[in-house]
Every structure is written in C-alpha cells, then in structure tokens.
Amino acid sequence: MWQFIKRTWAAIRRPSVHYSLGFLTMGGFVMGIIFWGGFNTAMELTNTEAFCTGCHEMRDNVYEELKPTIHYTNRSGVRATCPDCHVPHEWTSKIARKMQASKEVWAKVFGTINTREKFLAHRLSLAQNEWARFEANDSLECRNCHSEESMDITRQSTRAAEAHERFLFTGEKTCINCHKGIAHQLPDMGQASLITGDLSEQSLVDYLKAE
Amino acid sequence: MTRTYVFTAALIATLTGAAFAQDTVATLRSGVPLDQHPAPPQVATVKNTDLRQVRNYPEQPPLIPHKIDGYQIDTNANKCLQCHSRTAIEISQAPMVSITHFMNRNNQFLASVTPRRYFCTQCHVPQSDAPELVENTFVDIDKVLEYVAGTKAEDH
C-alpha cells in the first residue's frame, strides 16, 4: 500500500514525458467543465419535486398535505415546489443544506419514518427543525418570492396589513413566526410547549424562577 | 262499466299528479334530469371585511368577518386560537374567545378552552355573498318591539 502511494506520488511529481503542456492544460480545462457541469446537473436533479416525491415518505405524507394548499394550486397557477421552500437558492448555502441532507439519506436507509405512524411520531421534531432554519435565515425561502418591498399592503385585508406593518416591516418577527402550517399540517402544538417530567411543587417553583 | 271509467280516471289523475309533482318539487338538482350534469353555480366570495357584524339575537355565536381558508382545527392544532386565545390577543388585537368557552359542563372554569368548545366552526361561520336558497323571514326582536310599541301608541 505504502509502495503504491509512493509510486503514484512520484509519477505525479515528474513532468509529463509524452503529452504537451498545451494538451494537458486544455484537457484539464475541458474535463473541469465536464465534471463541474456534471456535478451541478446531478445536484439540480436532486432539487426537483420528482426526486423528492420519489420516496413514499415524502409522497404519501408531506406532498399529499401540500396539494390542497395555496402553494400547490391557486388562481394564477404560480406554484412552489419542494426545493423552493426547503433548499436555499444561493450556491454555498445550497451545498451546506445538501450536506446536512445526507443525514436524511441515513434515515431513509434505516426507515426512521417509513410508516405514517412513525412519521407522525417524528413530526414535531421535523417541523421544529424547519422552523428553526427559517427563523435563523429570516425566512429567506419565503422572501425569494414574497418580497417585502413589492408587498402592497393596501391590497391586503385590514387585519393582514396591520399585522405586517406592526411585525414584518419593523423586523420584530419573520414570516415563519405567524405563518406556520400553511403548506403542511401542523404537529401537536400542545406538545411543542409542554413541560415534561417532574410535576412536584418544588420543580414548578424552580421552573418559574428560571424563567 | 262506470266503475272501470272511474278507476281509469283515478289512475290517470294519480299518474299526471305524480308527473306534475315531479316538476314542482324543489330539489337540490333544481329539476335537471339524473343523467345530466347541471352547471355548477359560481363559487361565492367570502366576506373579508374584518368588521364585526351585528348579532341577530344575543345568543347568536359571533360571525367570522374574515376568510378562514385552510385553517387547521384538529387534535394537533387550532389555527383560530393562534390569534383569539387568551395569551395571543395582545399581539393580534383580536377578540378573545368568550370565557364561557373555558367552562366544562359542570360550569367549572378550566385553564384553556374546553374540548366541547374547541371546534370553532361548529358555531362560528364566515359569511359569503351567495344568494339565499330560500327566502328568510327572520325579524330582529327590536323590530318586533318597535311594532308592538307603535300599535300600543295607536290604541291610546
């Protein structure tokens, strides 16, 4: 093994004997384009709805729930697909998200959510992951389409206009704070804030002090 | 012979009666034959004024003056309570769910909305501009009282 590495290293270090510098440069350039393009094409292929709904976990749960919502069907026919909301559009962040998603491949292989029951059991933590991501990036994926600058609140209902003026334009809140569960069903929201464990009086006192 | 005539006449009367009845009885299909599809009416627009409506009688559950499309109300979540719950109204400035909704059937006040009052749309409904299917002859009690007061004034 060590011999092999040594021989390879020696071959790489030595100047080329048979091929011209021009050929090697051009060859490297062309191969670079092919590999880079191939890599990006393959990645874009994983960024389609057909790919996402290729697994029954996505097709039977979240995709079914998306169908009756306004992000799937509406009067103007503009439609958001899975990656529009769940994958950053900018390249560096996209790669980072794709690397995180390799953990989801692990879950797929070991069938972590391969039945409806298992999916529902994990739904809260799955949703919380996404909510945390949206809060951290200031609902970037919402804003890719719903820009604050282009939002004409005089065309909204009084209620919506007031809420957007008070919370969105002041930057006090971000889209996901109020618009949870608009594309998929919500998990048990009671559980989201439940205090679990010891219910003795002392533990309650401690909890209130910690607040 | 006459009995036969009478019987035939009665039979004809019954059959034509049935035929007429078919034309005049109001149905949900509005008289369109079973093998045909009636043109569906235009989907009514839900009123989205955000203005509270007058209750027609004091016990009437308040109407919802806004759209509630896609609001999830099930064992996991209640979209209405995101704005109308006790703790949310400072932010939303929406009316809080009535205190009666915290009472169980023994009039005990619970910490949150009781399960029997949890499904908002069982009583509270939005309104649309759909035409009335049948004429509504409801009269507000104030109108009745006005009328009674008027007739009494005429008497004296």
DSSP letters for A37-95: HHHHHHHHHTTSHHHHTTSHHIIIIIHHHHTTSTTTS-SS-----HHHHHS-SSHHHHH
Q: Could you give the CA distance from residue B80 to residue B96 in angstroms, rounded to a whole number?
A: 10
User: Rounded to whole angstroms, how far apart are CA atoms A125 and A187?
Assistant: 9
CATH number at residue B118: 1.10.1130.10
Q: What's the pLDDT at A18? A: 86
Radius of gyration from C-alpha coordinates of chain B: 26
The residue in chain A having the minimum alpha-carbon distance to the alpha carbon of residue B83 is A178
**Residue A172 tokens, joined:** 């006090």
Q: Is the pLDDT of residue A29 over 90?
A: yes
The pair of structure tokens assigned to A38 is: 């191939």
At residue B33, the pLDDT reads: 84
Yes or no, beta carbons of A68 and B92 under 8 Å apart? no
Number of domains in chain B: 1
Test B77 with A182 for CB contact under 8 angstroms.
no
Which residues of chain B make contact with A178, given a CB cutoff of 8 A? 82
Contact A185 B76 (CB under 8 A): yes
Query: What is the dihedral sign for C-alpha A77, A82, A86, A89?
Result: negative
Note whether A159 contacts B82, CB cutoff 8 Å: no
| B77: chain A residues, CB-CB within 8 Å | 181, 185-189
At residue A89, does pLDDT exceed 90?
no
> A67-71, A76-80, A194-198, B39-43: which range is least confident on average?
A194-198
In a domain, B32, yes or no: no
What is the average pLDDT across A127-156? 92
Q: For chain B, list residues with pLDDT below 70.
A: 1-26, 155-156
Domain contains B132: yes
Residue with tokens 């064992």: B75
Single-letter code of the amino acid located at B135: E
Which tokens in the block code for residue B78? Answer: 């209640």
Give a yes or no: residue B127 inside a domain: yes
Helix, strand, coil % in chain B, rounded to nearest 5: 35, 5, 60
Chain B residues contacting A via beta carbons under 8 Å: 48-50, 66-67, 69-70, 72, 74-79, 82, 91-93
Instruction: Tell me how close the Cα of A29 comes to any Cα of chain B, in angstroms.
Output: 53
Which residue type, as a one-letter code, is found at position A157? Answer: S
Is B100 inside a domain boundary? yes
Q: Do the domain assignments include residue B135?
A: yes
* C-alpha to C-alpha distance for B95 and B98, rounded to whole angstroms: 8
- A9 versus B14: which is more confidently predicted? A9
Question: Which residues lie across from B109 on neighbouring strands?
Answer: B103
Does residue B36 form part of some domain? no
What is the pTM assigned to this prediction?
Answer: 0.76
Residues of A in contact with B92 (CB under 8 A): 163
Range(s) of the domain holding residue B88: 60-156
SS3 state of residue B123:
coil
Q: Give a yes or no: residue B38 inside a domain.
A: no
Distance CA A122, CA A113 (A): 7
A159/B75 touch (CB, cutoff 8 Å), yes or no = no
**B78 DSSP β-pair partners:** B73
pLDDT confidence tier of residue A203, bands split at 50, 70 and 90: confident
Confirm if B47 and B127 have CB atoms less than 8 A apart.
yes
Per-residue confidence (pLDDT) for residue B14, from 0 to 100 = 56
All structural domains of chain A with their residue ranges: 55-145, 152-176
Residue B41 lies in a domain: no
The stretch A66-75 carries a mean pLDDT of 93
Alpha-carbon distances, residue A157 vs B50, B52, B94 (angstroms): 7, 14, 14
Q: What is the per-residue pLDDT for B40?
A: 82
Count CA atoms closer than 13 A to A51's CA, side-chain side.
Answer: 10
Contacts of A190 in chain B (CB under 8 A): 76
How far lies A207's CA from each of A126, A200, A210, B72, B149, in Å?
26, 11, 5, 31, 63
Q: How far is CA A148 from CA A116, A137, B21, in A?
A: 37, 15, 61
